[in-house]
Structure 1
Amino acid sequence: MHNPADSSVPSLPDQLLSPGFAFVEGDRMKPLLTSLGALMDWPDFVDSWNHLAPDPYLAAKGRFRRRRHGTFSAPADGPVVAEPHQPHFQSLQYNTLQGDIQRWFEPIDAAIVHGDTLGTILRFCHQLFGHVAPATKRWHIEVHQFRIEASADAAGEPTPEGSHRDGVDYVLVLLVDRENIASGTTTIHTPEGRLLGDFTLTHALDAALIHDPVVYHGVTPVRPLVADLPAHRDVLVVTFKSADGGIG
């Protein structure tokens, strides 16, 4: 997972074990991905963010974002496969704004689900997280497309719940695009609130990898660089959770 000639860079599995997160710039992330598959439909993958549906659970609270959602599964030694569309659920322990409810979002477009790019990203996650957690026999996987929109009147909130955990085992946050926005800095904290690191996903394929039970993460609000032009931050979030004790 890293260049063996550069011993100063810890491997991604080592970073996920301690300190519990890693930031990977797009120039490094791209060859990691393409070693496992193609990104031939990348332009269509990026364009699909222009067709996301509003998040109805946040719109009523004045926090506007668009999203789509999909569910997958994978055995430790087999391929990642798409599951029937189902709701996203988090307990109040992990989401104080929208916990303990089943949230139904529009499904990810089938062409994206079965396309090269998402398949390659999921293979990368499966290999990496499986390496870190070799005892896991089966994974429950969720994929979220997010567009956070900002305007001169209202900042966009990538994580309106604040610094949090997702209630899973591992998380990939991959930048797809950002247009006319400032900030959006990812912050990583200990459970006690001590800052462990911060970085900003600024280029396509810049990635944050997180060991969710170990650290908390959040993203600062985004604002337009030019007030009267469209402004958005597009990310793909992939979560892996052990399903050995039952999917959920």
Structure 2
Amino acid sequence: MLKSQKKLNFNCLNDYVLETLNTLNLERLDDSFNNLPADPYIAENYRFRRLSSFNIVNNQLVKLPHSPLFQSKKYNPLVGDVVRDYAELEQNLVELPDFQTIVREFFEFCQLCSDVNQIKANEISVHQIRTVANPQEVGYPAPEGIHRDGVTLVGIFSVSRHKIEGAATSLYKSKDQDPVFNKILNPGEFVIFSDRQLFHFTSVIKATTAEVGTRDVFVLTYPGLRPPKDWVQA
């Protein structure tokens, strides 16, 4: 049963919601970001990433077989039409109750949207992403600019921010309008929104000390972004 009033009032066709999951042990989640491999599809070394997909069966997370990520250039002009293969999330992270709480929370909104789109909410992809910055170089959480991902729902959960400024997340009804939502997500905050109705973007991060600064997030999508069965990369 959906418990929160935010879920009961959520309109999958055009809505977004901001929640705070304040009972999680974020430090345990944050530790796992130290083991992320560099994103090989970004030329500059400012992003680190893993990706796994899950079903929810009887309220339990069931990890799906490994699959690469694919977006067309319509949604990702930077690395669209490229099959991207990322390492899986580490098993000790997947087994953490706090991680599973985040995925289940997102899944409850997916169930609402499965009714709207007459499809079963049976696949959630979780992108574990660290963006870094240093005094000489900024980091780009969204190097593709204002965009959609080509899914039904997107969720961005903030795990940590260390020695940085910036990284405001914005949602737009169209690319040429002012944002309907604009906020730096603090650790524990979770914004969930309709990717079919809203574009999104996150501004650059800048280091605030002489050391490397980091922004750690989980980006969840429903459904996942898999290559078409007949896709042949040129």
On whether the aligned pair clears a TM of 0.5, the verdict is yes
Please give the TM-score of this superposition, normalised by the length of structure 1.
Answer: 0.81
State the distance in 2 between where 1:114 and 1:88 align.
23
Partners of 1:51 and 1:193 in 2: CA distance: 38
Counterparts of 1:111 and 1:54, CA distance in 2: 20
Picking from 40, 58, 64, the partner of 1:56 is: 40
Given that 2:18 and 2:192 are in contact with CA atoms closer than 8 Å, whether structure 1 keeps it comes out as yes
- Partner residue of 1:105 out of 86, 101, 104: 86
Structure 1 stretches lacking a partner, 5+ long: 5-10, 32-38
Aligned twin of 1:36:
none
Q: Is the 1:13–1:132 contact (alpha carbons within 8 Å) kept by the matching residues of 2? A: no
Match of 1:117 among 84, 89, 98: 98
**TM-aligned CA deviation for residue 166 of structure 1:** 0.8
Q: Which one of 140, 151, 166 corresponds to residue 168 of structure 1?
A: 151
Instruction: Look up the match of 2:51.
Output: 69
Shift of 1:132: 3.7
Percent sequence identity is 27
Give me the whole-angstrom Cα distance separating, in 2, the residues matched to 1:176 and 1:97.
Answer: 26
Q: What is the RMSD computed on CA atoms of the aligned residues?
A: 2.6
Q: Deviations over 1:79-114 (max 9, x none)?
A: 441111211111111111111111111111011123
| Kept in 2: contact 1:92–1:100 (CA 8 A) | yes
Return the TM-score normalized by structure 2.
Answer: 0.85
Q: Tell me, yes or no, if the aligned pair for 1:139 and 1:242 is still in contact at 8 Å.
A: no
Q: CA deviation at 1:140?
A: 2.3
Name the residue aligned to 1:145.
128
Q: Residue 34 of structure 1 aligns with which residue? A: none
Count of residue correspondences:
224
In structure 2, the partner of 1:20 is 15
CA distance in 2 between counterparts of 1:121 and 1:239 reads 12
Q: Secondary structure at the match of 2:41?
A: helix
Q: Shift of residue 131 of structure 1?
A: 2.4
Q: Is the 8 A contact 1:63 1:157 kept in 2?
A: no
Unaligned runs of 5+ in 2: none
